[in-house]
């Protein structure tokens, strides 16, 4: 793909175009997201020419399928060395962001931030060597079954690790094995993980997850600590639509100064971790990040006020004696979207009396009836149910069915 350089930004001796890689096209954004290989920068531009006659590079395409390169369908003839250079730069950029934002917790091998395929295979082969099995449903979950039927779990996320088992001696034994093979630091019993705070009470057999400190920092960042709290995530008088977006350049420039995408990103992180109660509200306001209006920002402030009054809330899990089945609830809001009349699909899965997976998002197409909208919702929820059933079975919670 070629990116055309405007005449006022080049001299007569410079080329009229630059060779770039197409990254993605976002709905509602007037332009293509591209990667400038010469300057190693991401740009958004409309003046591009696609080379549709060229076939994607096979090696790069395989990497995309494995998740090494995300959303880079290559549409031009590019050498393997340039592809590797782009891949390394994007991976390093992602890891730099994670290194700045993520907290410390149980076990921390510092060198894992820049791990490549070779080190990933090394860790995987070592876990298999000491008798652990990698989950087929989540490649970052390892388990080992002892002779008495108990299961020890190891969960890995980038450079952080959690180990769960009833017998502390077995946990210490595994830590010793890993410490002899990798550089690690033991942070003791997990009290925080990815900005989620963990509280447990073994007497009543309950565990709580919350993000009180994270939400407090978000409120402080956007100067909402002194705001008046409200009791609902999004009030009924907020009827948001694209008609409320600014229509003139002056109004657009005024709203560009607002940190709309930043605060929506903060909402999303809280939503996917411990706050399913704001899922629907966040899915509504997230639609207008490309061109927001004042009414959309008022809705953002309302959600912040709701978080101020509910920052103590979180998720509670309670041990169940007997069968511990996954229970799911599904619903859809038929044609609730005012812009394209698409339906909103929503589901939540619970286990041990607490939600473990949830979603609230617009359906990709417009349903012609409530029945079709429900079928589409059940189909998506069924996919999640199949995955969850396999994952919890690997973790020792045998599921004959998902209710």
Model confidence pLDDT, tens digit, residues 71-102: 222 233 334 444 445 445 544 444 443 334 33
Domain boundary among 32, 49, 66: 49
Structural domain includes residue 215: yes
In a domain, 94, yes or no: no
Query: Is residue 151 domain-shared with residue 176, that is, in the same domain?
Result: yes
pLDDT digit string, tens, across residues 95-153 = 443 334 333 333 333 334 345 566 678 888 999 999 999 999 998 899 999 998 899 99
Domains contained in the chain, number:
4
Check residue 10 and give its pLDDT: 57
In a domain, 154, yes or no: yes
Per-residue model confidence as pLDDT tens digits over 278-322:
999 999 999 998 888 999 999 999 999 999 999 999 999 998 887
CB 141 within 8 A of CB 134: yes
Pair 363, 373: CB distance under 8 Å: yes
Are residues 17 and 32 located together in one domain of the fold? yes
Q: Does residue 195 belong to any structural domain of this protein?
A: no
Rounded distance between C-alpha atoms, residue 280 and residue 289, angstroms: 16
The whole-number pLDDT of residue 332 equals: 87
Query: d(Cα 350, Cα 257) in Å, to the nearest integer?
Result: 40
Same-domain pairing of 308 and 340: no
- Residue 317 Cα distances to 85, 157, 387, 398, angstroms: 45, 22, 21, 18
Report if residue 62 sits inside a domain. Answer: no
Note down the domain range covering 39.
Answer: 2-49
267 lies in the same domain as 331: no
Q: Which pair of tokens denotes residue 154?
A: 């190891």
Shared domain for 217 and 307, answered yes or no, is yes
140 assigned to some structural domain: yes
Q: Which of 131, 107, 137, 106 is closest to 397 using CA atoms?
A: 137
> Looking at the structure, do residues 220 and 301 belong to the same domain, yes or no?
yes
Note whether 128 and 177 are same-domain residues: yes
> pTM to 2 decimals?
0.68
The CATH code of the domain that includes 145 is 3.30.310
pLDDT value at 56 more than 50 = no
- Across the range 263-271, mean pLDDT stands at 94
In a shared domain, residues 309 and 330: no
* Assigned domain for 64 exists: no
Residues 287, 340, single domain; the answer is no
The whole-number pLDDT of residue 115 equals 52
pLDDT digits (tens, 9 = 90+) for 154-187: 998 877 889 999 888 999 999 999 989 888 888 8
Q: In the listed set 297, 314, 331, which residue is the last one of a domain according to the structure?
A: 314
Residues 238 and 294 in one domain: yes
- Please write the tens of the pLDDT for every residue from 341-397: 999 999 999 998 999 999 999 998 899 999 999 999 999 999 999 999 999 988 888
Do 271 and 335 share a domain, yes or no? no
Segment 326-336, tens digit of pLDDT: 899 999 889 98
Evaluate if residue 220 carries a pLDDT over 60.
yes
Domain identity same for 289 and 335:
no
Q: Token pair of 168, please?
A: 């502390």
Of the residues 283, 314, 345, the one at which a domain ends: 314
pLDDT at 54: 53
Residue 20 in any domain: the answer is yes
């Amino acid at each position: 793909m070629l990116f055309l350089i405007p005449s006022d930004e080049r001299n007569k001796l410079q080329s009229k175009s630059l060779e770039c890689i197409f990254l993605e096209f976002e709905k509602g954004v007037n332009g293509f997201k591209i990667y400038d290989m010469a300057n190693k920068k991401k740009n958004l531009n409309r003046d591009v020419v696609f080379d549709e006659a060229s076939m994607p590079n096979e090696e790069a395409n395989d990497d995309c399928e494995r998740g090494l390169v995300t959303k880079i369908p290559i549409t031009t003839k590019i050498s393997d060395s340039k592809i590797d250079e782009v891949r390394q730069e994007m991976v390093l950029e992602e890891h730099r962001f994670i290194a700045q934002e993520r907290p410390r917790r149980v076990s921390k091998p510092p060198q894992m931030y820049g791990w490549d395929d070779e080190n990933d295979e090394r860790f995987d082969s070592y876990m298999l060597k000491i008798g652990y099995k990698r989950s087929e449903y989540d490649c970052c979950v390892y388990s080992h079954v002892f002779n008495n039927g108990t299961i020890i779990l190891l969960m890995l996320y980038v450079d952080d690790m959690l180990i769960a088992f009833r017998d502390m001696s077995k946990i210490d034994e595994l830590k010793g094995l890993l410490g002899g093979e990798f550089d690690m630091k033991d942070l003791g019993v997990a009290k925080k993980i990815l900005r989620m705070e963990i509280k447990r009470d073994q007497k009543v057999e309950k565990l709580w997850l919350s993000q009180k400190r994270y939400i407090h920092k978000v409120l402080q960042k956007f100067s909402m600590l002194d705001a008046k709290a409200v009791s609902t995530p999004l009030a009924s008088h907020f009827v948001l639509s694209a008609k409320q977006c600014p229509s003139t350049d002056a109004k657009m420039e005024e709203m560009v100064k607002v940190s709309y995408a930043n605060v929506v990103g903060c909402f999303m992180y809280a939503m996917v971790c411990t706050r399913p109660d704001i899922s629907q509200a966040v899915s509504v306001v997230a639609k207008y990040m490309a061109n927001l209006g004042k009414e959309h920002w008022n809705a953002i402030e309302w959600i912040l006020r709701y978080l101020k009054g509910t920052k103590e809330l979180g998720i509670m899990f309670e041990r169940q004696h007997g069968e511990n089945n996954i229970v799911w609830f599904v619903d859809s809001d038929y044609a609730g979207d005012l812009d394209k009349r698409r339906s909103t699909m929503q589901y939540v899965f619970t286990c041990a009396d607490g939600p473990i997976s949830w979603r609230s998002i617009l359906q990709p197409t417009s349903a012609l009836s409530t029945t079709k909208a429900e079928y589409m919702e059940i189909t998506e929820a069924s996919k999640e149910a199949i995955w969850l059933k396999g994952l919890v079975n690997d973790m020792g919670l045998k599921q004959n069915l998902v209710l």
